[in-house]
Amino acid sequence: MAGVFASLRKFVSPEFVFGMGSRKLAGSYAQNLGARHVLLVSDPGVIAAGWAGEVEQSLLESGLHITHFSALTPNPKAAEVMHGAAVYIENRCDVIVCVGGGSVIDCAKGIGIVVANRRHILEFEGIDQIALPPPPLICIPTTSGTSADVSQFAIITNAEERVKIAIISKAAVPDVSLIDPETVVTMDLYLTACTGIDALVHAVEAFVSQAHGPVSDLHALEAIRLIHGNLLGVLSDPADMAKRSNMMLGSMHAGLAFSNASLGAVHAMAHSMGGFLDLAHGECNAMLLDHVIEYNYPQASNRFLKVSDVMGLDLRGMVEKNRKQALLDEVRRFKAAAGILHTLSEKQVRLSDLGELARKAFADPCIVTNPRQPVVRDLEVIYEQAL
């Protein structure tokens, strides 16, 4: 009987519209959700690119009042979330619309959680800690990587403790995601590379996660195929909208996979490092990915074999050791071709930092579903290998 229950898997996702121009549906969707006064969350870069203005126009055409909030930074801080919640309450908003990357979307999620529950955002760390559902949330992502617009995760930085916390709950799933590939053309190439690798890590970690299931597996493998097959093409020809669309689709598939299967040590360690040094999340993931694969491989070799196959590697006739090396070589080649060449030491991570980083990573909820259960010293060693 235990085996029957162990095989049960739930799958949640928001309503989403995928395709060119979907951002322009924001007004009608907000209206359908009963909006009268929208809190429009974005950041200065997205505003400068014009995407927030287009969404604002859609909202105005639907007869809605708008209050703007853009006082946030990459890796959104708890204080920024609390400020946004105060703006929402002060202006009596009733729906949140966000336009931006993962930082903007996570901040918007945090604002909704706080205004519904009237508690500090850091009190919701962990799994299923949200008692009351947030107000309706519509997301328009502008990066093809974080997938926060379809996931149960919100990542917020505790600046005082210099660590990122993970809030994981069905209540954090947006109501609607308008996934428009046109919005990613304003990303610079390095951000395109980092967010693309982030999406690849989402898919790989979801596929080898201890909580994987048949539906999340389908999304994870399709994400790996799309991202591995299109990211380098986008970087060589940023105007190729077919490849841009495939990257956006791959990111969406990866988000649906990890939202339901969770993640692993790469993300736990990246959260720790990103919070400690305020580094870009995708870049942290990229620097750690191959080292964590090498650590996890013995526990999930059959799963990694499928990953290799989807990446187009021909491993027929190879012994296990050579199969592992072929996958590691391909991941490292792919990262280098994408222009992500930094090591941890080049990002000012010091040997003396590794113990604290490892302890914080070990406490991250993502570590629970890693295929191989580490101790703190294991994580410290992986960080050291990535120096």
Smallest Cα–Cα separation from 254: which of 155, 342, 150, 358? 150
CA separation for the pair 40, 67 (Å, rounded):
6
Question: In the prediction, which pLDDT does 1 show?
Answer: 33
pLDDT value of position 6: 56
Residue 278 pLDDT: 87
Sorted by where each begins, the domain ranges of the chain are 2-183, 187-386
Q: In 10 A of CB 306, how many CB atoms?
A: 16
The number of residues making up the chain comes to: 387
Rounded to whole angstroms, the Cα distance separating 109 from 229 reads 31
Over the chain, what is the mean pLDDT? Answer: 96
d(CA 112, CA 300): 38
Cα–Cα distance, 370 to 158 (Å, whole number): 24
pLDDT at site 147: 94
Tell me, what's the pLDDT at 2?
39
Q: Does domain 2-183 match CATH 3.30.465.10?
A: no
What pLDDT score does 279 carry? 86
Cβ neighbours, 10 Å, residue 232:
17
What pLDDT shows up at residue 338?
97
Per the listing, tokens 């027929």 go with 316
Predicted pLDDT at 255: 98
Q: What is the DSSP string of 87-155?
A: HHHHTT--EEEEEESHHHHHHHHHHHHHHHH-S-GGGG-EES---SPPPPEEEEE-SSS--GGG-SEEE
pLDDT in tens, 77-111: 999 999 999 999 999 999 999 999 999 999 999 99
Instruction: Give the CB-side neighbour count of residue 276, counting CA atoms within 13 A.
Output: 22
Helix, strand, or coil (residue 68): strand
Residues lower than pLDDT 70 in the chain: 1-6
Per-residue pLDDT of 9-42, as tens digits, reads 889 999 999 999 999 999 999 999 999 999 999 9
Question: Which strand (E) or helix (H) includes residue 11?
Answer: none
How many angstroms from the chain centroid is the CA of residue 205? 12
- What CATH code is assigned to 187-386? 1.20.1090.10
Asked if 239 contacts 185 with a C-beta cutoff of 8 angstroms, the reply is yes
Residue with token string 């209050």: 67
